[in-house]
Amino acid sequence: MSDETDIFRRQGFAGQIGVGDAPALVVIDFQVGFTDPAQFGGGNIDHAIAGTVGLLALARARSWPVVHTRVVYADDGSDCGGFTRKVPALRGLTETSPWSQIVETVAPHPGELVLRKRNASAFFGTELAGWLIGRRIDTLFVAGCTTSGCVRATVVDSCSHNLRTIVVTDCVGDRAIGPHEASLFDMKQKYADLMSLAEIEAGST
Protein backbone atom coordinates (compact mmCIF):
# COMPACT_ATOMS: atom_id res chain seq x y z
CA MET A 1 0.00 0.00 0.00
CA SER A 2 3.04 2.29 0.36
CA ASP A 3 3.15 3.24 -3.34
CA GLU A 4 -0.53 4.12 -3.30
CA THR A 5 -0.13 6.15 -0.13
CA ASP A 6 2.82 8.03 -1.58
CA ILE A 7 0.97 9.16 -4.68
CA PHE A 8 -1.94 10.48 -2.62
CA ARG A 9 0.50 12.31 -0.34
CA ARG A 10 2.40 13.84 -3.25
CA GLN A 11 -0.84 15.07 -4.78
CA GLY A 12 -1.96 16.75 -1.57
CA PHE A 13 -4.73 14.43 -0.39
CA ALA A 14 -5.59 13.50 3.22
CA GLY A 15 -5.65 17.00 4.66
CA GLN A 16 -6.83 17.24 8.26
CA ILE A 17 -10.38 18.54 8.73
CA GLY A 18 -10.53 18.61 12.53
CA VAL A 19 -13.46 18.75 14.91
CA GLY A 20 -15.60 21.88 15.01
CA ASP A 21 -17.60 23.47 17.80
CA ALA A 22 -20.95 21.69 17.36
CA PRO A 23 -20.74 17.93 16.79
CA ALA A 24 -23.46 15.37 16.25
CA LEU A 25 -23.32 11.59 15.92
CA VAL A 26 -25.02 9.44 13.29
CA VAL A 27 -25.20 5.67 13.80
CA ILE A 28 -25.88 3.93 10.51
CA ASP A 29 -28.03 0.80 10.24
CA PHE A 30 -26.98 -1.20 13.29
CA GLN A 31 -29.96 -3.49 12.74
CA VAL A 32 -30.39 -7.06 13.93
CA GLY A 33 -30.05 -8.42 10.39
CA PHE A 34 -26.54 -7.00 10.20
CA THR A 35 -25.41 -9.11 13.16
CA ASP A 36 -26.15 -12.41 11.38
CA PRO A 37 -23.85 -13.62 8.58
CA ALA A 38 -26.80 -15.59 7.18
CA GLN A 39 -28.63 -12.28 6.65
CA PHE A 40 -26.49 -9.16 6.05
CA GLY A 41 -23.81 -9.51 8.72
CA GLY A 42 -20.33 -10.92 9.14
CA GLY A 43 -16.84 -9.46 9.18
CA ASN A 44 -16.24 -7.00 12.01
CA ILE A 45 -19.77 -5.62 12.36
CA ASP A 46 -20.31 -7.11 15.84
CA HIS A 47 -17.03 -5.56 16.98
CA ALA A 48 -18.15 -2.18 15.64
CA ILE A 49 -21.47 -2.44 17.47
CA ALA A 50 -19.63 -3.18 20.72
CA GLY A 51 -17.43 -0.11 20.19
CA THR A 52 -20.44 2.07 19.50
CA VAL A 53 -21.83 1.35 22.97
CA GLY A 54 -19.01 3.47 24.35
CA LEU A 55 -19.32 6.08 21.60
CA LEU A 56 -23.00 6.57 22.36
CA ALA A 57 -22.24 6.93 26.07
CA LEU A 58 -19.68 9.62 25.23
CA ALA A 59 -22.05 11.47 22.89
CA ARG A 60 -24.80 11.45 25.49
CA ALA A 61 -22.46 12.62 28.23
CA ARG A 62 -21.37 15.54 26.02
CA SER A 63 -24.97 16.33 24.97
CA TRP A 64 -24.32 15.80 21.26
CA PRO A 65 -27.40 15.32 19.10
CA VAL A 66 -27.66 11.66 18.08
CA VAL A 67 -29.25 10.17 14.97
CA HIS A 68 -29.90 6.49 14.29
CA THR A 69 -30.82 5.12 10.86
CA ARG A 70 -32.72 2.03 9.79
CA VAL A 71 -33.22 0.58 6.34
CA VAL A 72 -37.00 0.05 6.15
CA TYR A 73 -39.28 -0.81 3.22
CA ALA A 74 -43.06 -1.07 2.93
CA ASP A 75 -44.58 -4.51 3.39
CA ASP A 76 -45.90 -4.44 -0.17
CA GLY A 77 -42.61 -3.26 -1.67
CA SER A 78 -44.23 -0.10 -3.05
CA ASP A 79 -41.25 2.08 -2.06
CA CYS A 80 -38.53 -0.25 -3.29
CA GLY A 81 -36.14 1.03 -5.95
CA GLY A 82 -32.64 0.76 -7.30
CA PHE A 83 -31.07 -0.41 -4.05
CA THR A 84 -33.41 -3.39 -3.80
CA ARG A 85 -33.01 -4.21 -7.48
CA LYS A 86 -29.32 -4.69 -6.77
CA VAL A 87 -29.87 -6.41 -3.38
CA PRO A 88 -33.37 -7.97 -3.47
CA ALA A 89 -33.05 -9.44 0.03
CA LEU A 90 -33.24 -5.92 1.46
CA ARG A 91 -36.97 -5.95 0.72
CA GLY A 92 -37.36 -8.10 3.83
CA LEU A 93 -36.36 -5.18 6.06
CA THR A 94 -39.91 -4.06 6.73
CA GLU A 95 -41.07 -1.97 9.67
CA THR A 96 -41.99 -4.93 11.89
CA SER A 97 -39.39 -7.45 10.71
CA PRO A 98 -37.12 -8.58 13.55
CA TRP A 99 -34.17 -8.13 11.17
CA SER A 100 -34.87 -4.39 10.73
CA GLN A 101 -34.92 -3.49 14.44
CA ILE A 102 -32.00 -1.60 15.96
CA VAL A 103 -29.70 -3.77 18.07
CA GLU A 104 -30.69 -3.45 21.71
CA THR A 105 -27.24 -2.51 23.02
CA VAL A 106 -27.18 0.59 20.78
CA ALA A 107 -30.91 1.35 20.87
CA PRO A 108 -32.02 5.00 20.74
CA HIS A 109 -32.70 6.95 23.89
CA PRO A 110 -35.66 9.34 24.18
CA GLY A 111 -35.00 12.51 22.22
CA GLU A 112 -32.69 10.87 19.69
CA LEU A 113 -33.78 10.96 16.06
CA VAL A 114 -34.53 7.69 14.24
CA LEU A 115 -34.51 7.98 10.45
CA ARG A 116 -35.95 5.38 8.11
CA LYS A 117 -34.12 5.26 4.80
CA ARG A 118 -34.43 3.35 1.53
CA ASN A 119 -31.07 4.18 0.00
CA ALA A 120 -27.45 3.95 1.04
CA SER A 121 -26.85 7.50 2.26
CA ALA A 122 -28.50 8.70 5.45
CA PHE A 123 -28.99 12.04 3.68
CA PHE A 124 -30.76 10.83 0.55
CA GLY A 125 -34.54 11.22 0.78
CA THR A 126 -34.49 11.96 4.52
CA GLU A 127 -34.70 15.06 6.73
CA LEU A 128 -31.16 14.60 8.08
CA ALA A 129 -29.62 17.67 6.42
CA GLY A 130 -32.36 20.00 7.63
CA TRP A 131 -32.28 18.49 11.10
CA LEU A 132 -28.53 19.11 11.38
CA ILE A 133 -28.79 22.63 9.95
CA GLY A 134 -31.52 23.49 12.44
CA ARG A 135 -29.14 22.57 15.26
CA ARG A 136 -26.21 24.47 13.71
CA ILE A 137 -24.13 21.30 13.56
CA ASP A 138 -20.71 21.70 11.98
CA THR A 139 -19.19 18.26 12.63
CA LEU A 140 -20.63 14.80 12.03
CA PHE A 141 -19.16 11.74 13.71
CA VAL A 142 -20.12 8.60 11.78
CA ALA A 143 -20.50 5.05 13.11
CA GLY A 144 -22.34 2.07 11.67
CA CYS A 145 -22.32 -0.40 8.82
CA THR A 146 -21.35 -1.19 6.25
CA THR A 147 -18.13 0.77 5.84
CA SER A 148 -18.05 0.28 2.08
CA GLY A 149 -21.77 0.88 1.62
CA CYS A 150 -24.08 3.04 3.70
CA VAL A 151 -21.30 4.50 5.85
CA ARG A 152 -19.27 5.57 2.84
CA ALA A 153 -22.32 6.99 1.04
CA THR A 154 -23.25 8.99 4.13
CA VAL A 155 -19.71 10.28 4.53
CA VAL A 156 -19.55 11.48 0.92
CA ASP A 157 -22.88 13.29 1.32
CA SER A 158 -21.81 14.74 4.66
CA CYS A 159 -18.70 16.19 3.02
CA SER A 160 -20.89 17.49 0.18
CA HIS A 161 -22.99 19.33 2.78
CA ASN A 162 -19.80 21.04 4.02
CA LEU A 163 -19.79 19.24 7.36
CA ARG A 164 -16.56 18.33 9.09
CA THR A 165 -16.87 14.56 8.83
CA ILE A 166 -15.17 12.12 11.19
CA VAL A 167 -15.33 8.33 10.73
CA VAL A 168 -14.93 6.54 14.07
CA THR A 169 -12.71 3.69 12.98
CA ASP A 170 -13.51 1.17 15.72
CA CYS A 171 -17.25 1.89 15.44
CA VAL A 172 -17.73 1.08 11.74
CA GLY A 173 -17.82 -2.40 10.27
CA ASP A 174 -18.31 -4.42 7.12
CA ARG A 175 -19.15 -7.99 6.21
CA ALA A 176 -15.76 -8.29 4.52
CA ILE A 177 -12.52 -6.78 5.81
CA GLY A 178 -11.02 -5.95 2.41
CA PRO A 179 -13.77 -3.47 1.44
CA HIS A 180 -13.75 -2.12 5.00
CA GLU A 181 -10.06 -1.28 4.92
CA ALA A 182 -10.12 0.05 1.36
CA SER A 183 -13.06 2.31 2.15
CA LEU A 184 -11.41 3.71 5.27
CA PHE A 185 -8.31 4.47 3.20
CA ASP A 186 -10.36 6.16 0.49
CA MET A 187 -12.48 8.22 2.87
CA LYS A 188 -9.37 9.41 4.71
CA GLN A 189 -7.82 10.62 1.47
CA LYS A 190 -10.87 12.50 0.14
CA TYR A 191 -13.81 13.07 2.46
CA ALA A 192 -13.20 12.63 6.19
CA ASP A 193 -10.83 12.35 9.09
CA LEU A 194 -10.42 8.99 10.79
CA MET A 195 -10.43 8.88 14.59
CA SER A 196 -10.66 6.07 17.11
CA LEU A 197 -13.03 6.24 20.06
CA ALA A 198 -10.04 6.69 22.38
CA GLU A 199 -8.86 9.70 20.36
CA ILE A 200 -12.31 11.27 20.54
CA GLU A 201 -12.51 10.63 24.28
CA ALA A 202 -9.18 12.40 24.72
CA GLY A 203 -10.47 15.49 22.92
CA SER A 204 -12.13 18.43 24.62
CA THR A 205 -15.26 18.68 22.42
Q: Which of the residues are catalytic?
A: 150
Distance of CA 75 to CAs 67, 92, 96, Å?
A: 24, 8, 9
Tell me how far apart the alpha carbons of residues 198 and 55 are, in angstroms, rounded to a whole number. Answer: 9
Q: Which parts of 31-145 are beta strand (E)?
A: 66-71, 113-117, 139-145
Given strand 66-71, what is the order of strands in its sheet? 113-117, 66-71, 23-28, 139-145, 164-173, 193-195
Tell me how far apart the alpha carbons of residues 35 and 39 are, in angstroms, rounded to a whole number. Answer: 8
